[in-house]
């Protein structure tokens, strides 16, 4: 369970997030939509501590809370928050000097100190899960965009987070590759063995409707809708 | 940094096994570069000269062995500042040093061993220069250029006697100055008469102008604490003057004259005994010098390689740490690290080496380094500034998303930088770092100023005594640098290709 309360975030004098309160239940799949510049990506980046915010709070599970304010947040809180909440980026951000397998192993090995052999076994299973078992030794530069994003999803899953945030995971891809990535996300969402909460920022509304249990609409830093996908106000959904 | 290099550096830099004699060797400092007839190499490569024989005689009188130590002429007294028994220090400065007030404040001068005069030397073709006074008259509407050794009596005389009516050209090397006069690039030079006499014989295009003037004494300098040594040297000089030993040595090099008879009378109260003139110095065999010269150049090339491979890893390590501090460290750290980089980039390597070797021991006695240690450290520190800038650029060139992706996986910032950012930054900067390695490889030549005989200094030594091969030696030396640096460029290119693995970012 992730609970965002009254989150306020400024870029300079611009109030990007204007008191956002939203909750994502365990195992839930939530889509976030809204016009560009509405604060969708910023919200995700605040939730896993990549950006500071000025007011409000992000709480994950019981007893882990990051409060906004001036000054650097406590290191320990940040680390625990990031280990609990994974992230998949629009530009994939795979590590170009590592193979696909190395990318998926990097979190367990370097962040969780899992023994290499164990991490490798898990990583191979995850690559298989996203349909790339045969690309384990390929470098990111040798993979298509869709394949890279699938490796990135496997990498995020490898540290076993309570939630994964998808920041426009398909907008850098052509429609065919985007569909292939959404299929993987859909698979995971419907897989009972993967209890992970998923929060997906996307402009691909048809795909979101198919995957998401609920939709949140953000406009000018405010939540204007939070509920079942079917009930969302149509004006925001083109 | 590979620890084996440090170990090897320490081993090479440690003093040679000490003699197991009762008395320590008499270490005397000299600059054999262009040093005839004082100290120079004969065709066989052995060091000869009237001061070599004088040192052998004096050491024998003191019951010690004579050990010659080489350094730049104007830096010799600084070597006395090292403690007695130091492997890189000396006990005596013995190299045509005049009796000078400034040096006597810090060191003890011995009795004079030679009375010299200043001689004026010019090109034979110059009819406008017939006596000393002509120096002050302009030639073709410009002041005459006169070469002198830095800090020598001739330097002082030129300044006080002629002031700004002549153009003084300062150079540390007699042979170079004489060569410039021979090629008419200098109008004249004022030198002590022993050197003048030697080069007038060697270079037929030169002529002596007027009579030698402005007599003075050559003395040796020792530490003020070494009273016993000073007294022993004084006694040995006087005995040698009296019994004709010095006369035989000086005659061998054509240096005995009336001034020396006066010196003998002045020092001992006796006129020297009459003796037959000695023989002229051996002209030297006609043996082919190339095998020896090539051997010496190859040895010096080894030193050049060693200096490079010992100092560069250190430079890279320091540079990377400085860059990490500047890019990721706390804000206050940026200022001192920025100053570090700018000071080291903005001052000459030559001065930095002087500082590390000659001045630092005076400020921090613990940091009394051997020449090799000082050379490696100086090069490493100087290049660390350039490497810091390379790595800073490399770190900044890694996209921000890389660090974010690593943090999002739950890595600590330090781990993320170490396993994700630094490896990519290292790849990005391979070309400029390779470039710097080759630059450092050639900059090792600057280490010659702190007594390290590497390739360039060896070339200087060799051509001074083998002037007929000056061009060949230059080509061989340049060729050695090239054949060593080209494989390193190839190796670096190979590393680049292997590390690159295609584009660096998707």
Contact A107 B407 (CB under 8 A): no
Interface of B with A (CB under 8 A): 399, 401-402, 404-412, 415, 419-420, 423-424, 427, 501-506
Q: Are residues B322 and B421 in the same domain?
A: yes
A148 min Cα distance to partner chain B (Å): 9
Out of A75, A85, A96, whose CB is closest to B424?
A96
Q: Tokens in use for B321?
A: 């740490």
Q: Are residues B122 and B236 in the same domain?
A: no
Q: What's the average model confidence in pLDDT over A209-213?
A: 87
Contact B409 A79 (CB under 8 A): no
Q: Is residue B432 part of a domain?
A: yes
- Phi-psi map region of B474: left, alpha, beta (phi>0 left; psi -120 to 50 alpha): alpha
Q: Name which of B280, B279, B262, B268 is nearest B240 in CA terms.
A: B268
Chain B hits for A90, CB-CB cut-off 8 Å, are: none
Q: Hey, is the C-beta of A140 within 8 angstroms of any chain B C-beta?
A: yes
Q: Is residue B3 part of a domain?
A: no
Q: How many degrees, rounded to 5, is the angle at CA B53 between CA B465 and CA B224?
A: 105
Chain A hits for B423, CB-CB cut-off 8 Å, are: 97
CB-side neighbour CA atoms (13 Å) of B396: 10
Chain A hits for B428, CB-CB cut-off 8 Å, are: none
Out of A92, A111, A140, whose CB is closest to B410?
A111
Q: Is residue B177 part of a domain?
A: yes
Its pTM stands at: 0.67
Phi, psi of B311, deg, nearest 5: -90, -30
- Element (DSSP H or E) covering residue B223: strand B221-223
Q: Which of B174, B190, B214 is where one domain is finished?
A: B214
Q: Are residues B363 and B483 in the same domain?
A: yes
Q: Are residues B440 and B311 in the same domain?
A: yes
Q: Are residues B29 and B154 in the same domain?
A: no
Q: Is residue B406 part of a domain?
A: yes
B25 min Cα distance to partner chain A (Å): 60
Contact B31, B274 (CB under 8 A): no
Chain B hits for A172, CB-CB cut-off 8 Å, are: none
Tokens 């994950």 locate to: A60
Residues 6+ apart with CB under 8 A from B381: B315, B318, B344, B352, B356
Residues 54-73 of A with CB under 8 A from B: none
The per-residue pLDDT for range B259-289, each reduced to its tens digit, is 888 888 888 888 876 655 444 444 444 578 8
Q: Report the C-alpha gap between B497 and B487 in whole angstroms.
A: 15
Q: Is it true that the peptide bond before B165 is cis, omega within 30 degrees of 0?
A: no
Range of weakest confidence among A105-109, A232-236, B465-469: A232-236
Q: Which of A84, A96, A169, A177 to mutate to test the interface with B (most CBs of B within 10 A)?
A: A96
Instruction: Give the model's confidence band at B499: pLDDT under 50 very low, under 70 low, under 90 confident, else very high.
Output: low
Instruction: Give the model's confidence band at B50: pLDDT under 50 very low, under 70 low, under 90 confident, else very high.
Output: very high
- The string over B68-106, giving b where at least 16 C-beta atoms fall within 10 Å of a residue's C-beta and e elsewhere, is bbbbbbebbbbbbeeeeebebbbbbbbbbbbebeebeee
Res B506 pLDDT > 70:
no
Chain B hits for A86, CB-CB cut-off 8 Å, are: 408-409
Write the DSSP assignment of B246-305 as a string of letters.
HHHHHHHTT---HHHHHHHHHHHSSPPPP----PPPP-------HHHHHHHHHHHHHHHH
Contact B423 A94 (CB under 8 A): no
Cross-strand bridge partners of residue A7:
A20
Q: Are residues B94 and B238 in the same domain?
A: yes
Q: Give me the pLDDT at residue A2, please.
A: 92
Sign of CA dihedral A134, A140, A144, A149: positive
- What's chain B's average pLDDT? 85
Res A38 pLDDT > 90:
no
Q: Give me the pLDDT at residue B18, please.
A: 42
Q: Is residue B281 part of a domain?
A: no
Q: Are residues B29 and B109 in the same domain?
A: yes
More confident residue, A209 or B307: B307
Contact B399 A112 (CB under 8 A): no
Q: Are residues B138 and B262 in the same domain?
A: no
Q: Which of B214, B237, B258 is where one domain is finished?
A: B214
B345 min Cα distance to partner chain A (Å): 32
Q: Is residue B349 part of a domain?
A: yes
Write the DSSP assignment of chain A as a string of letters.
-EEEEEEEEEETTEEEEEEEEEEE-TT-EEEEE-STTSSHHHHHHHHTTSS--SEEEEEETTTEEEE--SSPPPHHHHHHHHHHEEEE-TT----TTS-HHHHHHHIIIIIS---HHHHHHHHHHHHHHTT-GGGTT--GGGS-HHHHHHHHHHHHHHT--SEEEEESTTTTS-HHHHHHHHHHHHHHHT-TT---EEEEE-S-HHHHHHH-SEEEEEETTEEEEEEEGGGS-GGG--
Beta strand pairing status for A163-167 and A85-88? parallel
Q: Is residue B285 part of a domain?
A: no
Q: Give me the pLDDT at residue B498, please.
A: 67
Contact B370, B88 (CB under 8 A): yes
- Element (DSSP H or E) covering residue B93: strand B92-93
In angstroms, the Cα distances linking B160 to B119, B153, B157, B168, B454 are 16, 11, 5, 12, 38
Percent above pLDDT 70 for chain A: 98
Contact A95 B405 (CB under 8 A): yes
Q: Name which of A38, A37, A50, A52 is nearest A7 in CA terms.
A: A52
Range of weakest confidence among A113-122, B18-27, B125-134, B370-379: B18-27
Check which CATH number belongs to the domain holding B50 and give it.
Answer: 3.40.190.10
Chain A hits for B406, CB-CB cut-off 8 Å, are: 95, 106, 110
Out of B407, B408, B502, whose CB is closest to A139?
B502
Instruction: Give the model's confidence band at B1: pLDDT under 50 very low, under 70 low, under 90 confident, else very high.
Output: very low
**Residue B194 lies in domain:** 115-214
Res B17 pLDDT > 50:
no
Chain A hits for B407, CB-CB cut-off 8 Å, are: 49-50, 82
Q: Is residue B249 part of a domain?
A: yes
Cross-strand bridge partners of residue B28:
B68, B92
Res B32 pLDDT > 90:
no
B503 min Cα distance to partner chain A (Å): 6
Q: Are residues B101 and B124 in the same domain?
A: no
Contact B505 A142 (CB under 8 A): no
- What's chain A's average pLDDT? 91
Q: Are residues B334 and B448 in the same domain?
A: yes
Contact A214, A183 (CB under 8 A): no
Check which CATH number belongs to the domain holding B424 and give it.
Answer: 1.10.3720.10
Sign of CA dihedral A35, A36, A39, A40: positive
Q: Name which of B93, B57, B119, B115 is nearest B249 in CA terms.
A: B57
Res B34 pLDDT > 50:
yes
Q: Are residues B153 and B250 in the same domain?
A: no
Residues 6+ apart with CB under 8 A from A167: A41, A44, A45, A87, A88, A89, A90, A201
Instruction: Give the model's confidence band at B8: pLDDT under 50 very low, under 70 low, under 90 confident, else very high.
Output: very low
Res B422 pLDDT > 50:
yes
Q: How many domains are contained in chain B? A: 3
Chain A hits for B401, CB-CB cut-off 8 Å, are: 89, 91, 93
In angstroms, the Cα distances linking A91 to A157, B405, B419 are 17, 10, 20
The ipTM (two decimal places) reads 0.94
Q: Are residues B330 and B355 in the same domain?
A: yes
Beta strand pairing status for B107-109 and B221-223? antiparallel
Q: Hey, is the C-beta of A119 within 8 angstroms of any chain B C-beta?
A: no
Contact B314, B383 (CB under 8 A): no
* Domains of chain A in sequence order: 2-230 (3.40.50.300)
Q: Cβ–Cβ contacts within 10 Å for residue A191, how many?
A: 11
């Amino acid at each position: 369970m992730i609970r965002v309360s009254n989150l306020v975030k400024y870029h300079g004098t611009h109030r990007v997030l204007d008191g956002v309160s939203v909750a994502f239940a365990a195992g839930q799949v939530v889509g976030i939509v809204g016009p560009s510049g509405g604060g969708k990506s910023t919200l995700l980046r605040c939730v896993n501590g990549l950006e500071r915010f000025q007011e409000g709070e992000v709480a994950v599970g019981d007893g882990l809370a990051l409060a906004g304010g001036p000054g650097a947040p406590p290191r320990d809180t940040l680390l625990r928050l990031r280990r609990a909440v994974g992230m998949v980026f629009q530009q994939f951000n795979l590590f170009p000097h590592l193979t696909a397998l190395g990318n998926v192993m990097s979190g367990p090995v370097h962040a969780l100190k899992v023994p290499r052999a164990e991490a490798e076994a898990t990583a191979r299973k995850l690559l298989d899960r996203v349909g790339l078992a045969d690309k384990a030794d390929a470098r990111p530069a040798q993979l298509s965009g869709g394949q890279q994003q699938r490796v990135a999803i496997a990498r995020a899953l490898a540290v076993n987070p309570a939630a994964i945030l998808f920041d426009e995971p398909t907008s850098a891809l052509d429609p065919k590759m985007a569909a292939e990535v959404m299929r993987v996300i859909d698979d995971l969402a419907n897989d009972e063995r993967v209890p992970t909460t998923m929060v997906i920022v996307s402009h691909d509304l048809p795909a979101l409707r198919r995957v998401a249990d609920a939709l949140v609409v953000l406009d000018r830093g405010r939540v204007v809708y939070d509920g079942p996908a079917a009930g969302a106000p149509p004006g925001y959904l083109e | 940094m590979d620890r084996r290099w440090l170990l090897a550096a320490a081993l090479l830099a440690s003093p040679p096994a000490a003699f197991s004699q009762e008395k320590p060797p008499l270490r005397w400092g000299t600059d054999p570069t262009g040093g005839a007839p004082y100290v120079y190499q004969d065709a066989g490569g052995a060091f000869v000269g009237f001061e070599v024989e004088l040192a052998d005689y004096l050491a024998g009188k003191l019951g010690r062995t004579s050990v010659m130590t080489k350094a730049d002429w104007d830096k010799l007294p600084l070597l006395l500042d090292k403690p007695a028994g130091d492997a890189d220090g000396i006990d005596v400065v013995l190299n045509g040093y005049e009796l000078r007030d400034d040096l006597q404040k810090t060191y003890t001068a011995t009795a004079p061993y030679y009375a010299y005069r200043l001689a004026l030397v010019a090109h034979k073709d110059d009819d406008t220069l017939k006596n000393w006074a002509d120096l002050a008259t302009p030639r073709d509407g410009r002041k005459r250029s006169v070469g002198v050794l830095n800090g020598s009596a001739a330097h002082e005389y030129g300044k006080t006697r002629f002031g700004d009516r002549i153009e003084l050209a300062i150079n540390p090397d007699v042979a170079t100055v004489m060569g410039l006069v021979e090629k008419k690039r200098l109008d004249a030079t004022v030198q002590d008469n022993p050197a003048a006499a030697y080069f007038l014989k060697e270079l037929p295009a030169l002529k002596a102008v007027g009579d030698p003037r402005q007599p003075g004494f050559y003395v040796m300098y020792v530490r003020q604490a070494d009273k016993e040594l000073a007294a022993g040297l004084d006694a040995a000089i006087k005995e040698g003057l009296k019994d004709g030993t010095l006369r035989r040595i000086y005659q061998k090099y054509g240096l005995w004259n009336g001034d020396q008879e006066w010196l003998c009378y002045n020092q001992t109260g006796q006129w020297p005994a009459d003796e037959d003139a000695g023989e002229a110095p051996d002209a030297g065999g006609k043996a082919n010098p190339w095998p020896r010269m090539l051997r010496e150049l190859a040895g010096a090339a080894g030193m050049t390689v060693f200096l490079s491979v010992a100092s560069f890893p250190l430079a890279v390590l320091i540079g990377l740490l400085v860059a990490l501090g500047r890019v990721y460290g706390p804000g206050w750290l940026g200022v001192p690290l920025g100053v570090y980089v700018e000071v080291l980039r903005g001052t000459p390597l030559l001065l930095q080496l002087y500082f590390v070797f000659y001045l630092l021991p005076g400020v921090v006695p613990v940091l009394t380094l051997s020449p090799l240690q000082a050379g490696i450290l100086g090069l490493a520190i100087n290049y660390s500034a350039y490497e810091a800038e390379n790595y800073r650029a490399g770190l900044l060139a890694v996209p921000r998303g890389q660090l974010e992706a690593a943090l999002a996986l739950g890595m600590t910032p330090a781990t993320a930088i170490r396993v994700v950012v630094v490896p990519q930054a290292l790849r990005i900067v391979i070309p400029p770092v390779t470039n710097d390695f080759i630059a450092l490889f050639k900059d090792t030549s600057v280490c010659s100023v702190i007594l390290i005989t590497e390739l360039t200094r060896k070339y200087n030594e060799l051509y001074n005594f083998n002037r007929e091969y000056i061009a060949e030696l230059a080509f061989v030396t340049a060729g050695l640098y090239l054949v060593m640096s080209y494989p390193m460029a190839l190796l670096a290119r190979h590393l680049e290709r292997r590390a690159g693995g295609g584009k660096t970012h998707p």
